[in-house]
Structure 1
Amino acid sequence: MKNLGTFTKLRPPSLLRHLTNASENVFLQAFSQSINWTIYIENGKIIYATHSVEPFDRLERHLRRLSYQVPTLDKEVRAQVRLKFESDTHIPPLMHPEYEAISWLLNEKYLQPTQAALIIQELVKEVIESFILVKEGKYELSLFDGRVPVLSKLSIDKLLVYSQERLQHWRSFAPQITSPFQRPYLLMKADGNHGNLPGIQQKLANWMKGFSLRHLAVIMNQDEVQLTHSLYPYILNGSILLHEPDPPFDKLPKTFDERLKAQIYHHQLNKYQVVDIKELHNKVTPINNVILPITNLVATEEEVQIPPSREENIKYSTTATKPSHNSRKGKPAKNTGKKNYTIVSVDDSPTFLKEISRFLEDENFSVVTINDPVKAVMLIIRYKPDLILLDLHMEGIDGYELCRIIRNNSMFKKTPIIMVTGSKGIVDKVKARLVGASGYLTKPFTRADLLKMVFMHLT
């Protein structure tokens, strides 16, 4: 079986509903706007879904959210998962690397079966939510042989109902908000204050510089729609500015059609409509119990091959992460009474160091750049950074040796060290791990790639 087609007229929800009657193991591949969606269906139930836009960023977010409840999923384990499974090699046709990573976490006892099923469920929900927004594209249906270890089976009908209801909540924020990957910034007044924003927590304000709404929700351990709901009045009155998503997240479908957005603005301008911010704020209905229990979507526990559990769901705590504070590049932070994160970047290329400073200049970090690797150790001891970016290939001393020296100092046993290199080889990644690296960043990388690493290791 191999079917090809387009959904210029056939909507993705209709295509998925059609597959609920499939008695074979089918995987659906859809292509639209340079994005590839892959959905695995066994006997009419979805066992996994992914798309090509930053799948390991998606996995990291959901593992991090679960880590508030499951201490074994600490940042060291999550970094190990990324180093072990995220690569640029060919993706096996029946097992995506992030799915292999979840299976490994289960086998190594970092996750219980119900927790692994929950992670699969949350990943699938996010992917389906974006998939049903696709307007035009091509698809291909193929059979797979069923050798994939099944961690969860999800009802297509219930997933579609959930995703469509979720999108309705997002559309209630239109036309101001069209994507959960838009990035909010507080509008700074001339006196340096944020203005009268009593409803915004200081911790959230400190992180509202560069992270998307979706990433902020994970940092704050809140539901993303509820977080957006709390920020919405300030977006309406201009106290918070929204930037468009960073690449590659800008390729994902919008929750609200841009053509409708233009029509609404035109309509409002023509009528000189005065917007009652409080009234609009009240129209956004808060969501309760947005994380559906596994049993709401899973067919049966026997089908899923998960031991019976009396827990309806894993409830997340409300513990927030540590705040940070702005400072100028290359200078120690002023003592403001709040935590300021210091990042040291070691590279013998002044051009690269300028690029790092440019990427982080508007963020809540103190950035120290070092272009002489021989002097790096003493300067690192002086500045005591919270995170170190370390180039692998430098004159005088390479990154491997420098990482080993830093790790031998008891002050930096737990400090995240991110290796930076132009090489994509798996050997370099393995060697980096052996000398104690926490992560790996391949040149050239984007600002979003860098912030993702910082988000992963500092928050």
Structure 2
Amino acid sequence: MQGNLSEIDICSILQLIELGQRTGQLWVEAHSYRNNKPSGTIVSEYTLKQQSWFVFFLNGQIIYCQQGESSLSRISDYLRHYRVEMQLADKQIASLSSTDAPEYAYLWALLEQNIINPKIAASIIYNLVHETLFDLLSLHQGNFIFRQGAALAPQLHTLEITYFVIKITKELQEWKQLYPHIQSPEQLPVLSNKLQIESSLPAATVNKLQHWADGKTSLRQLARYLNRDILTVAKAIYPYVQQSWLQLVYSTTNKPDTHTDNWELKRKSRGQIVCIDDAIAIGETVNSILQAQGYEAIVLTNPLEALSLIFQLKPDLILCDIAMSQLEGYEVCAMLRHSTAFRFTPIIMLTGKDGFIDRVKASMVGATDYLTKPFTDTELLILVGKYINNQ
């Protein structure tokens, strides 16, 4: 089972997995814009954030959730609440990267060495599942793949999908009421009017705000440190944000556990290539072939988003699928050719058909060339090299 979140939402996907009592893994990828400037500023500065999540199931119930290729920092945040320091040897931690879920394997290693007890482990798993589903149920765009297979093992316990869906749906309704003052769990609180705060609030409250509103701790991290859900933390600071005593900003640095692209990447010597294709498998294939040969490959699965992002990227070559659900490749190509920025950029159309009419249509909208799927590594590399090397 795979598809686009514009066609089926996360809630429905989870319900299908629960009703079918399925065992396996759900992978979700999404791109979203975020405003780097504090709310209230006139000038906005947007970047694109790319994220992925994994949800592991056993007989229609959740075993665990992981965000992207975890660096164990989420576990570290929760261990801080329980005053537990990371005590595994570097060699043990390095061995976890070969597992399907490094975070989960790390928790079990802590359990086996009696560094934490089952109650703490269960609490951490519950909170990680909760925060992951909070993010997933907020999504409206993205791609997903569910693969049936062996369950993640061993299992500490399983969690009911319906319970989380009902609980988090209510929380998201309340979360929306905090907008635009609070927009994301990844925002960092910063003191903006210390004198006003000191004259208006008790000293104990001021001390707490100074401790946490350091511009380095996100709302989500704060929730982990306090062992509270993100909504509770957001509602607690909301009055201070309303009064402009606190500002919420985004981090300007990339932490190891985030997957944020600033889309002003340094181009590798062989050139930057954008592939627009709503089929995840094709995008992954193109990416692996091109990166292995030293190209910088960026795969965009949403053609509507791609049209705006591509003007920021200014790639050396564009690969564009013809048959896409939201927007045909012919339309994408025609729109790009109407812009002086892409008048001479090579655009290669990808299609599952090898017909004369398709080639004519591609030529009429300004396509440079045409590649029929499935294609071999050699076919793709020869075509890409032909046009990038001639620029």
Q: Counterparts of 1:70-109 in structure 2 under 5 Å? A: 74-75=84-85, 78=86, 80-81=87-88, 83=90, 86-87=93-94, 91-92=98-99, 95-109=100-114
Equivalent-residue separation in structure 2 for 1:23 and 1:193 (angstroms): 53
Deviations 1:122-161, CA, capped at 9 Å, x for gaps: 1111111111112222211212223611112010110111
Q: Paired residue for 1:12?
A: 10
Sort the Cα spacing of 1:222 and 1:202 in 2 relative to 1 into closer, same or farther, 3 A: farther
Q: Paired residue for 1:314?
A: none
Q: Counterparts of 1:20-419 in structure 2 under 5 Å? A: 20-33=18-31, 34-52=50-68, 54=70, 56-65=72-81, 67=82, 74-75=84-85, 78=86, 80-81=87-88, 83=90, 86-87=93-94, 91-92=98-99, 95-146=100-151, 148-188=153-193, 194-198=198-202, 200-210=205-215, 211-219=217-225, 224-246=230-252, 247=254
Structure 2: which 5+ residue stretches go unaligned? 32-49, 261-391
Equivalent-residue separation in structure 1 for 2:131 and 2:227 (angstroms): 17
Alpha carbons 2:56, 2:151 under 8 Å: kept? no
Alpha carbons 1:31, 1:139 under 8 Å: kept? yes
Alpha carbons 1:244, 1:250 under 8 Å: kept? no
1:62 deviates by: 2.0
Deviations 1:297-352, CA, capped at 9 Å, x for gaps: xxxxxxxxxxxxxxxxxxxxxxxxxxxxxxxxxxxxxxxxxxxxxxxxxxxxxxxx
Equivalent-residue separation in structure 2 for 1:193 and 1:114 (angstroms): 39
Pairwise CA RMSD: 2.9
Q: Tell me the secondary structure at the aligned position of residue 130 of structure 1.
A: helix
Corresponding residue pairs, total: 238
Equivalent-residue separation in structure 2 for 1:131 and 1:221 (angstroms): 20
1:54 deviates by: 4.8
Q: What TM-score results when the alignment is normalised by the length of structure 1?
A: 0.47
Equivalent-residue separation in structure 2 for 1:59 and 1:234 (angstroms): 29
Instruction: Read off the aligned partner of 2:29 and give its amino acid letter.
Output: F
Sort the Cα spacing of 1:81 and 1:123 in 2 relative to 1 into closer, same or farther, 3 A: farther
Greater mean alpha carbon deviation, residues 51-60 or residues 230-239: 51-60
Instruction: Read off the aligned partner of 1:169 and give its amino acid letter.
Output: E
1:220 deviates by: 5.2
Sort the Cα spacing of 1:16 and 1:87 in 2 relative to 1 into closer, same or farther, 3 A: same
1:52 deviates by: 1.0
1:104 deviates by: 0.9
Alpha carbons 1:21, 1:43 under 8 Å: kept? no
Q: Tell me the secondary structure at the aligned position of residue 200 of structure 2.
A: coil
Alpha carbons 2:110, 2:116 under 8 Å: kept? yes
1:163 deviates by: 1.6
Instruction: Read off the aligned partner of 1:110 and give its amino acid letter.
Output: I
Equivalent-residue separation in structure 2 for 1:221 and 1:156 (angstroms): 21
Deviations 1:195-230, CA, capped at 9 Å, x for gaps: 423383413323311211222344456554333323
Equivalent-residue separation in structure 1 for 2:228 and 2:126 (angstroms): 18
1:245 deviates by: 4.4
Sort the Cα spacing of 1:5 and 1:103 in 2 relative to 1 into closer, same or farther, 3 A: same
Deviations 1:151-200, CA, capped at 9 Å, x for gaps: 120101101112222223322311110112211111246x7985423383
Equivalent-residue separation in structure 2 for 1:52 and 1:166 (angstroms): 23
Sort the Cα spacing of 1:125 and 1:218 in 2 relative to 1 into closer, same or farther, 3 A: closer
Sort the Cα spacing of 1:139 and 1:115 in 2 relative to 1 into closer, same or farther, 3 A: same
Equivalent-residue separation in structure 2 for 1:174 and 1:225 (angstroms): 12
Structure 1: which 5+ residue stretches go unaligned? 68-72, 253-459
Greater mean alpha carbon deviation, residues 34-43 or residues 83-92: 83-92
Sort the Cα spacing of 1:204 and 1:217 in 2 relative to 1 into closer, same or farther, 3 A: farther
Deviations 1:66-105, CA, capped at 9 Å, x for gaps: x1xxxxx522xx2x2484565598543xx31110111111
Instruction: Read off the aligned partner of 1:124 and give its amino acid letter.
Output: V
Sort the Cα spacing of 1:194 and 1:85 in 2 relative to 1 into closer, same or farther, 3 A: farther
Q: Counterparts of 1:429-448 in structure 2 under 5 Å? A: none
Alpha carbons 1:28, 1:139 under 8 Å: kept? yes
Equivalent-residue separation in structure 2 for 1:32 and 1:82 (angstroms): 34
Alpha carbons 2:23, 2:58 under 8 Å: kept? yes
Equivalent-residue separation in structure 2 for 1:109 and 1:136 (angstroms): 42
Instruction: Read off the aligned partner of 1:204 and give its amino acid letter.
Output: L
Alpha carbons 2:65, 2:129 under 8 Å: kept? yes
1:238 deviates by: 1.3
Equivalent-residue separation in structure 2 for 1:99 and 1:142 (angstroms): 19
Equivalent-residue separation in structure 1 for 2:188 and 2:199 (angstroms): 19
Equivalent-residue separation in structure 1 for 2:114 and 2:20 (angstroms): 34
Equivalent-residue separation in structure 2 for 1:152 and 1:89 (angstroms): 21
Alpha carbons 2:56, 2:152 under 8 Å: kept? no
Sort the Cα spacing of 1:175 and 1:149 in 2 relative to 1 into closer, same or farther, 3 A: same
Q: What TM-score results when the alignment is normalised by the length of structure 2?
A: 0.54
Sort the Cα spacing of 1:5 and 1:152 in 2 relative to 1 into closer, same or farther, 3 A: same
